Structure 1
Amino acid sequence: MPKNFVLDQRIERASDAIETGAAAYRGRWAEACCPLIPGGVERFDHVHLDLGCGKGAYIAAMAQRHPDTLFIGMDSEPVCVVHAAQLVLDLSLKNVLVIPGDAANLAGIFAPGELSSISVNFPTPHPKRRHARLRVTTAEHLDGYRSLIAEGGMLMLRTDSLPLYEYSLPQFKAIGWEVVCATHDDRAAHPEQPITEYEQRLTEQGATVHAIYARPASKPATPEQIQFALDMPQSLIDYLPEDLFADDYIPYGMSYAVDNLRNRRQHLAARQNA
């Protein structure tokens, strides 16, 4: 954080773009958040959730392009909530709101079918097996999003982490989601996606953006489907490429695991050559 950054003061300063009582708007986000403009529209046509919105660059760019859509950014980190809200205010955006929270709280904040779409941009991969339940793309989390997304709506995952992509894709399929697009180069597949400062920095370091676009299953996942997904390898180490990212770029959140495996391979090679 910058020097002299006082979180409470920044929250107060950006409070006009932060909603701490989000549950009160469940089922009526499109109407309740529409600006009161004489002769204007009475509700937004769509409601989009950016789960793990970070500093808000993605939803800010999307909101400028789609004024008929209410964009809601959610993040569990107070610093990210403050930065995203301040960006909304600086750009005078009337169709963006930021709320604190995470994937575990969604059913209490949004009614069934209330969301037109969900985006998940560069989430924390949580590579260790014991942290797997925290990933936003577990089968259980995906099944929780299912009922919140309107018919024809879509969830989009974009990540620089190949292991997270390789873990997530079978999770979607295991519970019956329709994978519309799965790509290892989302910038080429969807050039219209906003290029945020974060993505620009990653790509300059050598990252490529892997992405999954999927529509929810029509029915809830069965216990057997959930168990099938849980029986898949849960540690992202199991999804690391054989070359352990031979180039210089290592995905965000994976450096510790990659360095450990590289060291173990070097020690094993040294013993074999001794």
Structure 2
Amino acid sequence: MHGLHARLPKNFVLEERLERYADAIELEPRRLAGRWLEGCSPVGGPRLRELRLDLGCGKGGFAAESAAREPDVLFVGIDSEPICVAYAAQKAVEDGLANLVLVPALGRDVAELFAPGEVGRIILNFPTPFPKKKEAARRLTHLDQLLLYRQVLAPGGSVVFKTDSQPLFAFSLTQFELAGFELTWKSEDARADRPDDPVSWYEERLGRQGATVFGLEATPGPLTGQVEQTAELSLAEYLPEDLTQLSYVPHGMQGTVTNLRNLRAKQGARH
């Protein structure tokens, strides 16, 4: 997520951290495609029953708590930031979470990392909004990404998405519909509706700033005909018309909101 980072401790050496917690990091994930549960189940122990993917896992707080609650489920945390991977791997090792594996990769890699039908659930917690139109394809809820998720989800599998950004949530609803997903849950106050869900670092930080959490869960439904992008791609198009009444500015959209407020103020002054 843009602009929301933990302060690094003194003497933090990334390479040293990655080496120290290497037991929880999978550097060759493609070799496990189709056999993640088999390859990550404890030797001599019971086979893990399901694979869940925390895509954009950040520092790993959500994934670690989830793995601790359900030791018979394999959680794979993916993040493109090596610092995040290092922090998440540290949690996995120090907490003794053998069912949590971290992978340095991108969202677009999922169809290469997992076999068709291998993933039971994909979790998207507070992904970077990328508000500009030209960056829309980088959103983890963009149509192209959702079509990739369909490839790897098991029958009955789902995508769970949470965000502080009402514009990103509104945009994402259009994308899930276009990608043929069916909503099984939708909320404008996800923490109130699902109070027992693990709390991610982003939710904790943004909640203190006044954020409300929007959430949904969706499963792949029928997909017929040619899929075509028809939604507005700029998140500015999903902001309310009266920005003066906007009490909370979604993270990553402060610049967009400021520019629009200034523009509308100038237009109002001309009239």
Shared fold (TM-score, shorter chain, > 0.5): yes
**2: CA distance, partners of 1:52 / 1:191:** 22
Partner of 1:22: 29
Output the aligned Cα RMSD.
Answer: 1.4
Partner of 1:164: 168
Partner of 1:176: 180
Identify unmatched segments of 5+ residues in structure 2: 1-7
Per-residue CA distance 1:174-195 (angstroms, 9 max, x = gap): 2221111111111122112112
The equivalent position to 2:82 in structure 1, one of 78, 83, 93, is: 78
Instruction: Give, in angstroms, the shift of residue 157 of structure 1.
Output: 0.6
Partner of 1:128: 132
Q: Residues 157-236 of structure 1: matches in 2 within 5 Å?
A: 157-219=161-223, 222-223=225-226, 225=227, 227=228, 230-236=229-235
The equivalent position to 1:11 in structure 2, one of 6, 12, 18, is: 18
**1: CA distance, partners of 2:255 / 2:166:** 15
Instruction: Give, in angstroms, the shift of residue 89 of structure 1.
Output: 1.0
Instruction: Give, in angstroms, the shift of residue 202 of structure 1.
Output: 1.1
Note if 1:44 corresponds to 2:48: yes
**Corresponding pairs, count:** 264
Partner of 1:55: 59
**2: CA distance, partners of 1:253 / 1:245:** 18
Instruction: Give, in angstroms, the shift of residue 218 of structure 1.
Output: 4.2
What percent identity do the matched residue pairs reach? 45
Partner of 2:112: 108
- The letter for the 2-side match of 1:52 is G
Per-residue CA distance 1:27-80 (angstroms, 9 max, x = gap): 0000110112x4x21x21000000000000011111111111000000011111
**1: CA distance, partners of 2:259 / 2:21:** 42
**1: CA distance, partners of 2:166 / 2:74:** 31
SS in 2 for 1:147: helix
Instruction: Give, in angstroms, the shift of residue 152 of structure 1.
Output: 0.8
Partner of 2:5: none
Note if 1:266 corresponds to 2:265: yes
Higher mean C-alpha displacement, 118-127 vs 166-175: 166-175
Instruction: Give, in angstroms, the shift of residue 246 of structure 1.
Output: 2.9
**2: CA distance, partners of 1:30 / 1:23:** 14
Instruction: Give, in angstroms, the shift of residue 15 of structure 1.
Output: 0.9
- Please say if residues 63 and 95 of structure 1, whose CA atoms lie closer than 8 Å, have aligned partners that are also in contact: yes
Partner of 1:255: 254
- Please say if residues 50 and 74 of structure 1, whose CA atoms lie closer than 8 Å, have aligned partners that are also in contact: yes
Instruction: Give, in angstroms, the shift of residue 213 of structure 1.
Output: 0.5
- TM-score, scaled to structure 2: 0.93
Instruction: Give, in angstroms, the shift of residue 139 of structure 1.
Output: 1.2
Per-residue CA distance 1:133-190 (angstroms, 9 max, x = gap): 1011111110111021111111001000000000000111122211111111111221
Partner of 1:69: 73
Partner of 1:237: 236
The equivalent position to 1:152 in structure 2, one of 142, 151, 156, is: 156
**2: CA distance, partners of 1:192 / 1:16:** 30
- Please say if residues 146 and 217 of structure 1, whose CA atoms lie closer than 8 Å, have aligned partners that are also in contact: no
- Please say if residues 137 and 168 of structure 1, whose CA atoms lie closer than 8 Å, have aligned partners that are also in contact: yes
- The letter for the 1-side match of 2:64 is A
Shift in alpha-carbon separation, 1:197–1:108, aligned structure 2, 3 A: closer
Instruction: Give, in angstroms, the shift of residue 22 of structure 1.
Output: 0.3
